[in-house]
Chain A
Amino acid sequence: MSMYFAVNGHKTYCYTGGKPFDAAKPTAVFIHGVLNDHSVWILQSRYLAHHGWNVLAIDLPGHCKSEGEAPASVEAGAGFVAALLDAAGVQRAALIGHSWGSLIALEAAAQLKERVSHLVLVGTAYPMKVTQALLDASLNEPMKALKMINVFSRSTLAAPPSALGPGTWVYGASMALGRRVLASNAEVNVFHRGFKACDSYANGETAITQITCPVLFVLGAQDQMTQAKAAQRLMDKAGASGKTVRVARVQVGHHQMTEAPEETLFAMRDFLNTP
């Protein structure tokens, strides 16, 4: 089940987790990372939708089912999230982001202040630097770069039952999704653009001090894309500025939602259910 909102004049796709949007419920917005779409959140978003939450798992602009210009910066992505909440008539929401999406969620939470009830940063790092070799490959040899990031993201050859249920080969599913997302935008290489946005984001430490909500970090202990230690600066800043900080470490790589779907869900659920 899904719905479209007109955001900044463009159709924006939101998966609602199998339940119709209900303005009376609290809302959780899920923001995906580079070369991903709403479907990476299926298990977590579908669960929350059936446990009291409004879910809006988006395709970022210029990705898959959403129209519009793909965000060229984290700030542009955050501006889109703010516009989405306005378009949906949502006054207050939890923001949940993965990888690039975690930076967008962080920046949006800093901009939106009290309009954000909870902030969940999955597979985050700051700064989220991308090597020049990977940036170049994402532009010039995207299939080679896609393989590189999926190899870096994987932590196991034996993932538990995942988004497609038992029998899912997570690595292959992520490769296929990456190819599909890249092909979904004929105008812009969303792979390179997303990586550039991650690489150039410079407001993370300021943003984390500006948020007004509690924050949960979900970090993969074996994550080679955004190593767990690379989130420490954000955690330190958040703690030093008096924020409520929670940390969940899952024993997987960068595919937290698919390699550890249950642990990721439980961390998220318990955090969101705390006012």
Chain B
Amino acid sequence: MSGYSDPGFDTLALHAGAAPDPTTGARAVPIHLTTSFVFESSDHAASLFNLERAGHVYSRISNPTNAVLEQRVAALEGGIGAIATASGQAALHLSIATLMGAGSHIVASTALYGGSQNLLHYTMRRFGVETTFVKPGDMAGWRAAVRPNTKLFFGETVGNPGLDVLDMPSVSAIAHEAGVPLLVDSTLTSPWLVKPFDHGADLIYHSATKFLSGHGTVIGGIVVDGGSFDWEKSGKFAELTEAYEGFHNMVFSEESTVGAFLLRARREGLRDFGACMSPHTAWLILQGIETLPLRMARHMSNTEKVVAFLASHPLVARVGHPMLESHPSHALAKKLLPRGAGSVFSFDIRGNREQGKAFIEGLKLFSHLANVGDCRSLVIHPASTTHFRMSDEALAGAGITQGTIRLSIGLEDPDDLIDDLKRALKAAEKAGA
């Protein structure tokens, strides 16, 4: 099937969730900067609160602009719906808080963004949720880590920053044997590079701050439900399959056979934790998504050129990108990520810490800051910044050394990026002389 009724990715990136405004004719998505929405009557109000009718009540719970973003990302991922959140971290927290409480257990990959590692290792532990970390490629480790109280498997499509590709088909199979869902952070790949639901994932979240937005302007997150996980069959999720006194004694899995997670996440998680997204932020992320396919193609072609340059430079000891045969995930990346494994990667400079510092400070086009997925190229030293709370052992687990430098390749002319790197590497060389 093809045509309007079965649109492709590029068309969905522009149109999913949005139609010309029926009142004003506005073609672009309007920004609904309003806290609340007027009820037609007392009965309408009661019906909305009781989920007898669908609509907007209060922008912490839902908003028309956010709803466009939610539909659009769900469409691009092949999901059933989504919830926009204040940040990627809020999306991760919302996912965890919806599925479990104190006494629960998570099995997670060691190759995680430092902020996610903090949340699991320190913060959630304080609230009684424990996490066992497993190397992403250690299938026996994933299986052995399962406990009776395990409620979730969690990993990144490609680990930050070592780019270990998560073997989603294998990890999800182990998760499903254990009766738990696989949650995947797909921030670094975006749905243009991989659709995790096609490979067994049950829930996906993004830091929409990164490639979805693409312009380094806003903080936002989004969690998408694939509608594939059978919460009732699992028997481990009373949160979704038994009456919830906190919301009309609703049994979420009865209300929706495939959407129980989203129902509870919105009706409890956004209501009580309140980490919602501003409609203005949603609008800016929508602007970004409209060009996601174009940007991702350019991110990847630039990355190929930069990786090839670095891999052949004498001052570079290692380039950690799966497009290189030397990368441990090379074969898996070819299988799961045929369009490429992303434009965020790390490399190691031969030399000491001072040379690393000279390299970063010698860059002109690359901006030294804590972000990835911007249209501009970025650089950072993970061991002293994004992953600084991690022990040496945990750093090694994430594929990071003291000499590791992370790049996020942007959309500039690739020759200019290579010139910039060339100059900075020269500066590093001089610093070691």
Q: Which residues of chain A have a CB within 8 Å of any CB of chain B?
A: 1-2, 15, 18, 37-39, 42-43, 46-47, 50, 64, 147-148, 151-152, 154, 156-169, 171-173, 175-177, 179-181, 224, 261-262, 265
Alpha-carbon separation in the docked complex, A208 to B357 (Å)? 83
Whether A165 lies near B62 (C-beta < 8 A) is yes
Q: Does B313 contact A (CB under 8 A)?
A: no
Alpha-carbon separation in the docked complex, A166 to B282 (Å)? 14
Nearest Cβ in chain A — how far from B23, in angstroms? 14
Which residues does chain A contribute within 8 Å of B259, judged by CB atoms? 163-164, 168, 173
Nearest Cβ in chain B — how far from A191, in angstroms? 16
Alpha-carbon separation in the docked complex, A2 to B255 (Å)? 10
Contact of A167 among B6, B19, B70, B251 (CB under 8 A): B70
Contact of A2 among B68, B71, B254 (CB under 8 A): B254
Whether A166 lies near B56 (C-beta < 8 A) is yes
Contact of B1 among A151, A177, A180 (CB under 8 A): A151
Nearest Cβ in chain B — how far from A113, in angstroms? 31
Alpha-carbon separation in the docked complex, A166 to B251 (Å)? 19
Q: Does B413 contact A (CB under 8 A)?
A: no
Which residues does chain B contribute within 8 Å of A2, judged by CB atoms? 251, 254
Whether B84 lies near A167 (C-beta < 8 A) is yes
Query: Quick one: given A15-B254, A151-B1, A262-B53, are A171 and B75 in contact (CB under 8 Å)?
Result: yes
Query: Quick one: given A152-B5, A157-B16, are A165 and B263 in contact (CB under 8 Å)?
Result: yes
Nearest Cβ in chain B — how far from A254, in angstroms? 12
Which residues does chain B contribute within 8 Å of A163, judged by CB atoms? 54, 256, 259
Q: Does B80 contact A (CB under 8 A)?
A: yes
Q: Which residues of chain B have a CB within 8 Å of any CB of chain A?
A: 1, 5-7, 12, 15-19, 46-47, 50-56, 62-64, 66-68, 70-71, 74-75, 78-84, 226-228, 230, 243, 248-251, 254-259, 262-263, 266-267
Whether A176 lies near B67 (C-beta < 8 A) is no
Alpha-carbon separation in the docked complex, A180 to B18 (Å)? 28
Whether A42 lies near B5 (C-beta < 8 A) is no
Whether B62 lies near A169 (C-beta < 8 A) is no
CB closest chain-A residue, reference B51: A46
Whether B66 lies near A166 (C-beta < 8 A) is yes
Contact of B78 among A42, A160, A172 (CB under 8 A): A172
Contact of A50 among B52, B54, B255, B266 (CB under 8 A): B52
Alpha-carbon separation in the docked complex, A261 to B84 (Å)? 23
Query: Quick one: given A50-B50, A168-B81, A169-B81, are A157 and B19 in contact (CB under 8 Å)?
Result: yes
Whether B51 lies near A168 (C-beta < 8 A) is no
Whether A47 lies near B53 (C-beta < 8 A) is yes
CB closest chain-B residue, reference A46: B52
Whether B81 lies near A173 (C-beta < 8 A) is yes
CB closest chain-A residue, reference B46: A50
Nearest Cβ in chain B — how far from A159, in angstroms? 8
Whether B250 lies near A18 (C-beta < 8 A) is yes
CB closest chain-A residue, reference B226: A176
CB closest chain-B residue, reference A40: B257
Which residues does chain B contribute within 8 Å of A166, judged by CB atoms? 54-56, 62-64, 66-67, 70
Nearest Cβ in chain B — how far from A150, in angstroms? 9
Contact of A172 among B18, B55, B74, B255 (CB under 8 A): B74
Contact of A43 among B52, B82, B243 (CB under 8 A): B52
Can you pick out 29 interface pairs between chain A and chain B where the beta carbons lie within 8 Å of each other? A2-B251, A18-B249, A18-B250, A43-B51, A46-B52, A46-B255, A47-B53, A50-B47, A64-B257, A151-B5, A158-B15, A161-B54, A161-B67, A164-B81, A164-B259, A165-B263, A166-B55, A166-B63, A167-B81, A167-B262, A168-B71, A168-B80, A169-B71, A171-B75, A172-B227, A173-B80, A176-B226, A180-B230, A262-B54
